[in-house]
Each structure stands twice: as C-alpha cells, then as structure tokens.
C-alpha cells in the first residue's frame, strides 16, 4: 500500500514562491511515476507536472511550464513542486499521486494512489 502526504501549502501574494513536498511511503519507489495535480473550485482536477522514477523524465502542463519545477528524491521517498511567479489562478488544492504504470504518465485518471491535498491560495 502506498500512502502520500502533502505539505507546504499556504496563503501567498501574486508573484511569490512556494515549495510543496510530498512524502511517499512504500517500497521500490523508483518504479513509480509521481505527479502533482490541482483542483480549483468548480473545476476538474488537472495535471500540473509528472516525473518518472528512473531517468527523472518530466512533463509539465503549458499553464505552469517555466514557473513550476517538479523534482524527486528517491532516497528520501519525496517529491517536490517548486512554484514561482504564482498567480491568483494557481489557487486550489494541490495533490500528489503515484502510479506503477510504466513510462511518463500524464493523465490524472491513470494514477492509483493519492494524498489528501494541501491548499494553496494566491491573493493580494
């Protein structure tokens, strides 16, 4: 069983930065593709960034490319999302998730294990 716990959310102003962390429990974490997702009020959950366990291949949604950076530390079983130049439209609940499907998985529906989320609010 894989469990994920996010942290690092909060209230920030436009232009600020935040770093989200997610601790992933389980074995053989290198076999898992990990991702960060966001759900804004009244909207569907969307994929922000994903990263493979080996090779650290990454995918970014066009709305965050150049502003957000996903990374992982397999030795610490953690995945991170560095968020810079935050905008009000980045507000939402941020989730990390894991899947054992091979390759760089970008579809949220393909992820099997989810954390409970952490709230990020960007407002002046």
Q: Mind listing the pLDDT tens digit of every residue in the chain (124 residues)?
A: 899 999 999 999 999 999 999 999 988 889 999 999 999 989 999 999 999 999 899 999 999 999 999 999 999 999 999 999 999 999 999 999 999 999 999 999 999 999 999 999 999 9
pLDDT of 112: 96
Distance of CA 106 to the CA centre of its chain: 11
Helix (H, G, I), strand (E, B) or coil at 101: coil
Q: How far apart are CA 21 and CA 46, in angstroms?
A: 18
Do the Cβ atoms of 94 and 49 come closer than 8 Å?
no
pLDDT of 27: 84
Do the Cβ atoms of 99 and 110 come closer than 8 Å?
yes
């Amino acid at each position: 069983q894989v469990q994920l716990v996010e942290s690092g959310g909060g209230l920030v102003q436009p232009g600020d930065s935040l770093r989200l962390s997610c601790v992933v429990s389980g074995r053989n974490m290198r076999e898992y593709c990990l991702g960060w997702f966001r759900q804004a009020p009244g909207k569907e959950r969307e994929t922000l960034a994903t990263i493979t366990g080996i090779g650290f291949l990454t995918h970014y949604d066009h709305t965050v490319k150049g502003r957000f950076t996903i990374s992982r530390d397999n030795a610490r079983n953690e995945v991170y999302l560095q968020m810079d130049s935050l905008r009000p439209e980045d507000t939402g609940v941020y989730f990390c998730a894991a899947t054992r499907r091979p390759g760089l998985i970008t579809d949220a529906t393909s992820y099997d294990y989810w954390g409970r989320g952490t709230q990020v609010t960007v407002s002046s």
